[in-house]
Structure 1
Amino acid sequence: MSSHFLLSTAAAAGAPGGAAAGLSFLIPMGLMLLIFWLLVWRPQAQQVKTHRAAIAAVKKGDEVILGGGIRGRVTKLVGDDEAEVEIAPTVRVRVVKSTFTQVVTAASTKPAND
Protein backbone atom coordinates (compact mmCIF):
# COMPACT_ATOMS: atom_id res chain seq x y z
CA MET A 1 0.00 0.00 0.00
CA SER A 2 2.76 2.45 0.89
CA SER A 3 4.64 1.72 -2.34
CA HIS A 4 1.53 2.57 -4.35
CA PHE A 5 1.28 5.89 -2.51
CA LEU A 6 4.97 6.69 -3.20
CA LEU A 7 4.64 5.88 -6.91
CA SER A 8 1.55 8.02 -7.36
CA THR A 9 3.20 10.93 -5.52
CA ALA A 10 6.34 10.68 -7.69
CA ALA A 11 4.31 10.55 -10.90
CA ALA A 12 2.24 13.57 -9.88
CA ALA A 13 5.33 15.58 -8.99
CA GLY A 14 7.08 14.82 -12.29
CA ALA A 15 4.22 15.80 -14.62
CA PRO A 16 4.28 19.64 -14.34
CA GLY A 17 8.07 19.82 -14.70
CA GLY A 18 7.98 18.08 -18.08
CA ALA A 19 5.72 20.70 -19.66
CA ALA A 20 7.87 23.57 -18.42
CA ALA A 21 11.02 21.87 -19.68
CA GLY A 22 9.52 21.55 -23.16
CA LEU A 23 8.62 25.23 -23.27
CA SER A 24 12.03 26.29 -22.01
CA PHE A 25 13.56 24.31 -24.88
CA LEU A 26 11.33 25.81 -27.58
CA ILE A 27 11.98 29.47 -26.77
CA PRO A 28 15.80 29.36 -27.23
CA MET A 29 15.40 27.15 -30.30
CA GLY A 30 12.98 29.65 -31.82
CA LEU A 31 15.37 32.52 -31.08
CA MET A 32 18.25 30.64 -32.71
CA LEU A 33 16.17 29.99 -35.83
CA LEU A 34 15.20 33.68 -36.00
CA ILE A 35 18.84 34.76 -35.71
CA PHE A 36 19.87 32.23 -38.36
CA TRP A 37 17.18 33.54 -40.69
CA LEU A 38 18.19 37.18 -40.15
CA LEU A 39 21.95 36.67 -40.44
CA VAL A 40 22.29 33.89 -43.02
CA TRP A 41 19.26 32.91 -45.03
CA ARG A 42 17.69 36.31 -45.77
CA PRO A 43 20.90 38.03 -47.00
CA GLN A 44 21.75 35.00 -49.15
CA ALA A 45 18.28 35.04 -50.72
CA GLN A 46 18.63 38.75 -51.50
CA GLN A 47 22.04 38.18 -53.07
CA VAL A 48 20.68 35.39 -55.27
CA LYS A 49 17.78 37.62 -56.31
CA THR A 50 20.07 40.48 -57.39
CA HIS A 51 22.39 38.04 -59.22
CA ARG A 52 19.47 36.57 -61.18
CA ALA A 53 18.26 40.07 -62.06
CA ALA A 54 21.73 41.03 -63.31
CA ILE A 55 21.94 37.90 -65.48
CA ALA A 56 18.45 38.47 -66.87
CA ALA A 57 19.42 42.05 -67.82
CA VAL A 58 22.50 41.01 -69.85
CA LYS A 59 22.48 42.49 -73.34
CA LYS A 60 24.69 42.46 -76.42
CA GLY A 61 28.02 44.16 -75.73
CA ASP A 62 28.12 43.49 -71.97
CA GLU A 63 31.30 42.06 -70.51
CA VAL A 64 30.76 38.96 -68.37
CA ILE A 65 32.82 36.57 -66.27
CA LEU A 66 31.98 32.89 -66.70
CA GLY A 67 32.05 30.18 -64.05
CA GLY A 68 35.60 29.11 -64.90
CA GLY A 69 36.92 32.67 -64.59
CA ILE A 70 36.90 33.34 -68.34
CA ARG A 71 36.10 36.93 -69.31
CA GLY A 72 34.27 37.70 -72.49
CA ARG A 73 31.90 40.04 -74.28
CA VAL A 74 28.35 39.03 -75.18
CA THR A 75 27.96 39.12 -78.97
CA LYS A 76 24.54 37.54 -79.36
CA LEU A 77 21.66 36.39 -77.16
CA VAL A 78 20.27 33.00 -78.16
CA GLY A 79 16.82 32.46 -76.68
CA ASP A 80 16.12 33.22 -73.04
CA ASP A 81 18.83 31.11 -71.45
CA GLU A 82 21.82 31.10 -73.82
CA ALA A 83 24.31 33.63 -75.12
CA GLU A 84 27.23 33.74 -77.50
CA VAL A 85 30.34 35.13 -75.81
CA GLU A 86 33.53 36.25 -77.54
CA ILE A 87 36.44 35.26 -75.30
CA ALA A 88 39.21 36.21 -77.74
CA PRO A 89 39.30 37.79 -81.20
CA THR A 90 37.42 35.43 -83.55
CA VAL A 91 36.81 32.91 -80.72
CA ARG A 92 33.15 32.69 -79.79
CA VAL A 93 31.51 30.17 -77.50
CA ARG A 94 27.86 29.50 -76.87
CA VAL A 95 27.12 29.30 -73.14
CA VAL A 96 24.16 28.99 -70.83
CA LYS A 97 23.48 32.30 -69.06
CA SER A 98 23.44 30.60 -65.66
CA THR A 99 27.22 30.11 -65.99
CA PHE A 100 27.72 33.89 -65.72
CA THR A 101 29.16 34.59 -62.31
CA GLN A 102 29.42 38.34 -62.76
CA VAL A 103 28.34 41.03 -65.19
CA VAL A 104 31.18 43.56 -65.38
CA THR A 105 30.09 47.19 -65.59
CA ALA A 106 32.13 50.06 -67.00
CA ALA A 107 32.62 51.54 -63.51
CA SER A 108 34.19 48.36 -62.15
CA THR A 109 36.72 48.07 -65.00
CA LYS A 110 38.39 51.45 -64.29
CA PRO A 111 41.91 51.28 -62.83
CA ALA A 112 42.04 51.95 -59.09
CA ASN A 113 44.55 54.81 -59.36
CA ASP A 114 42.47 57.00 -61.70
Structure 2
Amino acid sequence: MNASATNNTIIVILYIAIFAGFYFFLIRPQSKKKKNEEKMRKSAQVGDEITTIGGIVGRVVGVKEDDSLIIETGSDRAKMRVRRWAIGSIDNTHEEAE
Protein backbone atom coordinates (compact mmCIF):
# COMPACT_ATOMS: atom_id res chain seq x y z
CA MET A 1 0.00 0.00 0.00
CA ASN A 2 1.19 3.45 -0.73
CA ALA A 3 0.77 6.57 1.41
CA SER A 4 -2.30 7.93 -0.45
CA ALA A 5 -4.27 4.70 0.00
CA THR A 6 -3.44 4.71 3.72
CA ASN A 7 -4.56 8.35 4.02
CA ASN A 8 -7.83 7.61 2.22
CA THR A 9 -8.50 4.65 4.52
CA ILE A 10 -7.87 6.80 7.60
CA ILE A 11 -10.22 9.49 6.28
CA VAL A 12 -13.00 6.95 5.66
CA ILE A 13 -12.56 5.49 9.15
CA LEU A 14 -12.65 9.01 10.60
CA TYR A 15 -15.92 9.81 8.80
CA ILE A 16 -17.46 6.57 10.07
CA ALA A 17 -16.36 7.40 13.63
CA ILE A 18 -17.83 10.91 13.39
CA PHE A 19 -21.15 9.56 12.11
CA ALA A 20 -21.25 6.93 14.88
CA GLY A 21 -20.55 9.66 17.46
CA PHE A 22 -23.40 11.79 16.13
CA TYR A 23 -25.73 8.80 16.22
CA PHE A 24 -24.92 7.74 19.78
CA PHE A 25 -24.70 11.23 21.29
CA LEU A 26 -27.42 13.13 19.38
CA ILE A 27 -29.82 11.06 17.30
CA ARG A 28 -30.38 8.03 19.56
CA PRO A 29 -31.05 9.93 22.83
CA GLN A 30 -33.45 12.28 21.04
CA SER A 31 -35.45 9.39 19.56
CA LYS A 32 -35.58 7.64 22.96
CA LYS A 33 -36.84 10.85 24.58
CA LYS A 34 -39.51 11.26 21.89
CA LYS A 35 -40.61 7.63 22.33
CA ASN A 36 -40.91 8.06 26.13
CA GLU A 37 -42.93 11.28 25.71
CA GLU A 38 -45.33 9.53 23.32
CA LYS A 39 -45.74 6.66 25.78
CA MET A 40 -46.45 9.15 28.60
CA ARG A 41 -49.06 10.98 26.52
CA LYS A 42 -50.83 7.76 25.56
CA SER A 43 -50.99 6.67 29.23
CA ALA A 44 -52.97 9.73 30.43
CA GLN A 45 -56.21 8.60 32.05
CA VAL A 46 -59.09 10.03 34.04
CA GLY A 47 -57.86 11.29 37.42
CA ASP A 48 -54.34 12.24 36.29
CA GLU A 49 -53.02 15.72 37.07
CA ILE A 50 -51.42 17.09 33.89
CA THR A 51 -49.60 20.20 32.73
CA THR A 52 -49.94 21.19 29.08
CA ILE A 53 -47.09 22.54 26.99
CA GLY A 54 -48.78 25.93 27.32
CA GLY A 55 -48.60 25.79 31.11
CA ILE A 56 -52.25 24.99 31.88
CA VAL A 57 -52.57 22.71 34.90
CA GLY A 58 -55.63 20.51 35.33
CA ARG A 59 -57.09 17.14 36.17
CA VAL A 60 -58.29 14.78 33.43
CA VAL A 61 -62.04 14.20 33.76
CA GLY A 62 -62.75 12.66 30.36
CA VAL A 63 -61.06 10.94 27.45
CA LYS A 64 -62.44 11.33 23.92
CA GLU A 65 -61.93 8.85 21.12
CA ASP A 66 -60.64 11.55 18.76
CA ASP A 67 -57.31 11.71 20.65
CA SER A 68 -58.29 14.53 23.00
CA LEU A 69 -58.86 14.92 26.74
CA ILE A 70 -61.27 16.96 28.84
CA ILE A 71 -59.47 18.62 31.74
CA GLU A 72 -60.82 20.53 34.71
CA THR A 73 -58.86 23.55 35.87
CA GLY A 74 -58.96 25.88 38.84
CA SER A 75 -61.31 26.17 41.79
CA ASP A 76 -64.24 27.15 39.54
CA ARG A 77 -63.90 23.75 37.82
CA ALA A 78 -63.73 25.18 34.31
CA LYS A 79 -63.47 22.43 31.71
CA MET A 80 -61.47 22.55 28.52
CA ARG A 81 -60.59 20.14 25.76
CA VAL A 82 -56.95 19.58 24.85
CA ARG A 83 -55.21 17.26 22.42
CA ARG A 84 -52.92 14.51 23.70
CA TRP A 85 -49.92 16.01 21.90
CA ALA A 86 -50.32 19.13 24.07
CA ILE A 87 -49.59 17.25 27.32
CA GLY A 88 -46.27 18.45 28.69
CA SER A 89 -46.15 16.22 31.76
CA ILE A 90 -48.27 14.01 33.96
CA ASP A 91 -47.65 15.39 37.44
CA ASN A 92 -49.61 12.91 39.52
CA THR A 93 -51.09 9.69 38.18
CA HIS A 94 -54.43 8.26 39.20
CA GLU A 95 -54.69 5.72 41.98
CA GLU A 96 -55.88 2.27 40.89
CA ALA A 97 -58.33 0.58 43.24
CA GLU A 98 -56.89 -2.74 44.40
What TM-score does the superposition give when structure 1 sets the normalisation length?
0.70
Is the radius of gyration larger for structure 1 or structure 2? 1
Q: Give the total of aligned pairs.
A: 91
1:95 aligns with 2:59: no
Q: What is the RMSD of the two structures over their aligned residues, measured on CA atoms?
A: 1.7
The separation in 2 between residues aligned to 1:39 and 1:63, in whole angstroms, is: 33
SS across alignment from 2:31:
helix
Structure with the larger helix share: 1
Question: 2:16 is matched by which residue type in structure 1?
Answer: G
The amino acid that maps onto 2:43 is A
User: What TM-score, normalized to structure 2?
Assistant: 0.81
1:32 aligns with 2:48: no
How high is the sequence identity, in percent, across the aligned residues?
23
Secondary structure of the residue aligned to 2:54 is: coil
- Which consecutive unaligned segments of at least 5 residues does structure 1 have? 1-15, 107-114
Structure 2: runs of 5 or more not aligned: 94-98
- Specify the alignment match of 1:66 in structure 2: 52
Moved over 6 A (4+): none
Residue in 1 aligned with 2:33? 47
> In structure 1, how many angstroms separate the alpha carbons of the residues matched to 2:66 and 2:31?
23
